[in-house]
Amino acid sequence: MYRYDAIDRSLVAERVAQFRDQTRRHLAGELSEDDFRPLRLQNGLYVQRHSPMLRIAIPYGLLSSAQLRKLARIARVYDRGYGHFTTRQNLQYNWPRLAQAPEILAELAEVGMHAIQTSGNCIRNITTDHFAGVAPDEHVDPRALAEILRQWSTFHPEFAYLPRKFKIALSGAATDRAATLLHDIGLYALKNAEGELGLRVIVGGGMGRTPIIGHVVREFLPWRDMLTYLEAILRVYNRHGRRDNLYKSRIKILVKALGVDAFRAQVEAEWEHLRGTESTLTDGELARVSAHFAPPSYEPPGDEDQALAFQLAADRAFERWFRRNVHPHRQPGYRAVTLSLKKTGVPPGDVTADQMDLVADLADRHSFGELRVSHEQNLILADVRERDLLALWRRAREAGLATPNVGLLTNIVCCPGGDFCALANAKSIPVAEAIQRRFDDLDYLHDIGELDLNISGCMNSCGHHHIGHIGILGVDKNGSEWYQVSIGGEQGINAALGEVIGPSFAAAEMPGVVEGLVEAYLAHRTGDERFVDTVHRIGIAPFKARVYGEKREAAHA
Amino acid sequence: MPRHVIRHGQVIGDIWQVLVPREGESPATAALPEGPLAVSLDVWKARREELLARSSPVGVRLEPADDPAQIAGDLPRLALVAVNFPKLADGRGYSTGYLLRRRYGYRGELRAVGDVLRDQLFYLARSGFDAFQLREGADAHAALPSLRDFSEAYQSAGDARAPHFRRRAAPAGAAS
Ligand code: SF4
């Protein structure tokens, strides 16, 4: 992974000093809350329901074991012994104290971490594929470009006070695990017929109040032009994006208002001034950064394939976990492993300090001391020897990190919602838990097969409900909490937005509603069709009939 | 009390007057005070010749929505371009600074005015501003260290520093 050099270290240290002074002035009454707000937000510090919330950046989801141990320590010393992984591959602490935030940032700086630009109207943490560099379906490893983007966007002076937050995702595999179609800018790395590396540039996608699939603004941008082209897009947005209405200020609204062709023309006109200038990337720079992501020293494959087959045959639980939580790897004899943070009864994405320490140990022992955070709020050990899987599974299971549910209904993606977030319309964690409890029969769960269920506590869509096969959105009706349900959303290369099935439900109804949707699916599925495929094939009517038909009967009973 | 500005890293007295027509006042007829004078874009467009004929320095004050291209041809004759930040969070002026310096080659005083505080100075300076008139009541002397909040920068911006990857010891590869 990327290791800090002198400039990275000095910038992060200077940021800590800067924020320490800003916090001091704020607490001394020299810097008003209004003036302090944009500064603290650009250091990841929100004010939430109970206390500030601090969001730590995990650039493109990559962590070392030493960094994870530091996160565990901070959870113990400054928080309540746990943290929460978000859908943007970051980590949030829910209970830090404002006065201690500079201390926390200083501790993070010791291991090359920070909270820079994890909030505020600036370029946020770059996200990418959590299987980058190991996925067999990958044609370009996006990590070096992601790191180049991290550096470029960090403290970019011109783009720190944009109309609104700005999210960039990067992917280079056949399966788009970074949702490039649903970001302010999505970059999809590919090679052209001549074998040259380039990027498909997608602009104006996003969830939130106005969910939109992004538009392709350029089909093939040579990689050397990545920064100049992004600068052109950001400058057009910074100058012309709306600032009068919070809900219309994302770039997707600008693209929509201008029309994609006019938007593209503006970007290209701006870019004409920039192409070939000093921000044009060099082979040397790509090589320098790529060297940080060189493959680890894999051992040559041995005879563990047979041992693994034997182990799988001997233990049903291990086999079940293997099937769901272990993923193919391009290196023979190796696998990628998901450690599930979706155990029933634990808020999705939450992890205790002890679990963090354990995962750090597992990473050291089995995965070259590194791990990743997935946007589905799980942890990934990307380079595990097949012969280590059984031992790894046993230790993960003891720690509650081996729920065999990746890709299944109980692997719920869920925002913190009304329990923590000041913006929420409704709670999301208890709804997730109630649904998990209803589907606690593993055989049934596995029979249902792949199903993404996403919950957001409000229109900000942090739980990505629009792209859940089943999406649940907290809504406010006259001061009480209700849930709107959509189906048919999908992530990836064929990203689709879910369709709302009808009037919203009370919290207590939600497990029954999901059950009804699943039963309708089971009644209609053919072959090994997934839930979402069935929805796309037969439409939402049969699902609606099932859910609302029952509801009416219940009401009349 | 004389107003102060920060210019080239020092606090100095401000010699400039600003003319922005009031509600109902016509840019074509508003009185032009004596001495160094910066005017809004509409006054500049209406009175350009008259202003250039004066013996004292002239400048233009741009609002966030003003396109700096409109004064690009006049820049060599302007001693001051002020960019107004009516609200701290309105970042359009950063792009204005970039364009004036890098695209239109402006070399004179580029001043950030309005809702400007010390915590914005570093980014403003990197966007090409060399002068800052802080919000009324803010302490300009106390703000000076903020200009040095960071010793380095990764990317190129309005201040024309080359991106860091081009300043590394052994430059490998060339621009395409
Ligand atoms: S979706 Fe809404 S409730 Fe949930 S974390 Fe985001 S802002 Fe808060």
Is residue B173 one of the residues assigned to a domain? Answer: no
- In the predicted model, is pLDDT for residue A536 greater than 80? yes
Task: Kindly state the average pLDDT of the residues A371-389.
Answer: 95
Q: How far is the CA of A422 from the centre of ligand 1 (A)?
A: 8
Q: Please determine, for residue A557, whether its predicted confidence score (pLDDT) is greater than 50.
A: no
Specify which residues A91 forms β-bridges with.
A56, A85
Q: Do B123 and A280 touch (CB under 8 A)?
A: no
Give, for all 176 residues of chain B, the pLDDT tens digit.
468 999 999 999 999 999 988 888 899 999 999 999 999 999 999 999 999 999 999 999 999 999 999 999 999 999 999 999 999 999 999 999 999 999 999 999 999 999 999 999 999 999 999 999 999 999 999 999 999 999 999 999 999 889 999 998 654 444 43
Q: Which residues contact B36 (CB under 8 A, 6 or more apart)?
A: B15, B16, B17, B56, B57, B58, B59, B79, B80
Which fold is adopted by the domain A6-110?
Answer: Sulfite Reductase Hemoprotein; domain 2 (3.90.480)
| A32 Cβ under 8 Å from any chain B Cβ | no
Residue A162 in 3-state DSSP? Answer: coil
What are the pLDDT digits (tens) for A282-307?
A: 999 999 999 999 999 999 887 666 78
Residue-level pLDDT at A420:
87
Count of the separate structural domains present in chain B:
1
Residue spans per domain, chain A:
6-110, 127-291, 304-398, 413-555
CATH of domain A413-555: 3.30.413.10
**Residues 154-173 (A) with a CB less than 8 A from some CB of B:** 154-162
Q: Is A282 in contact with B165 (Cβ distance < 8 A)?
A: yes
CB B115 within 8 A of CB B87: yes
Residue B125 placed within a domain: yes
B66 within some domain: yes
For residue B69, the tally of other CB atoms under 10 A from its CB is 11
Give pLDDT, residue A208: 84
Quote the pTM value: 0.93
For residue A466, report the distance from its CA to the centre of ligand 1, in Å: 13
- Taking CB atoms and an 8 Å cut-off, how many pairs form between chains A and B? 125
pLDDT of A59 strictly over 70: yes
pLDDT in tens, A171-197: 999 999 999 999 999 999 999 999 999
Cβ A87 vs Cβ A81: under 8 Å = no
CATH entry 3.30.413.10 includes domain A127-291: yes
pLDDT of residue B2: 63
The pLDDT value given to residue B173: 45
Instruction: Compute the mean pLDDT over every residue in chain A, rounded to the nearest whole number.
Output: 94
* pLDDT over threshold 70, residue A556: no
Hey, which bits of A82-196 come out as E strands? 82-85, 91-93, 127-128, 168-171, 185-191
CATH code given to domain A304-398: 3.90.480.20
End-to-end CA distance of chain A: 61
Which ipTM score applies to this complex? 0.95
Question: Which pLDDT band holds residue A210 (cuts at 50, 70, 90)?
Answer: confident
Residue B160 has a pLDDT of 81
- In this predicted structure, the answer to whether residue A346 has a pLDDT above a threshold of 50 is yes
Q: How far is B67 from chain A (nearest CA, A)?
A: 9
Q: What is the DSSP string of chain B?
A: ---EEEETTEEEE---EEE-PPTT--TTTS---SSSEEEEHHHHHHHHHHHHHSSS-EEEEE-TT--GGGGGGGGGG-SEEEEEESSTT-THHHHHHHIIIIIS---SEEEEEES--GGGHHHHHHTT--EE---TT--HHHHGGGGGS-S--SS--TT-PPPHHHHSSS--S---
- Does residue A27 or residue A554 have the better pLDDT? A27
User: Are A305 and A386 in contact, with CB atoms under 8 Å apart?
Assistant: yes
Q: Which residues contact A38 (CB under 8 A, 6 or more apart)?
A: A120, A121, A161, B88, B89
pLDDT-derived band of residue A414, with 50, 70 and 90 as boundaries? very high
Cα-to-chain-centroid distance, residue A448? 24
pLDDT one-digit tens code per residue, A125-171: 999 999 999 999 999 999 999 999 999 999 999 999 999 999 999 99
Ligand 1: centre distance to CA A252 (Å): 20
Which residue owns the Cα nearest ligand 1 atom 2?
Answer: A458
Residues of B in contact with A157 (CB under 8 A): 94, 122-127, 153, 157-158
The CATH number covering residue B52 comes to 3.40.50
Domain that holds residue B37: 4-166
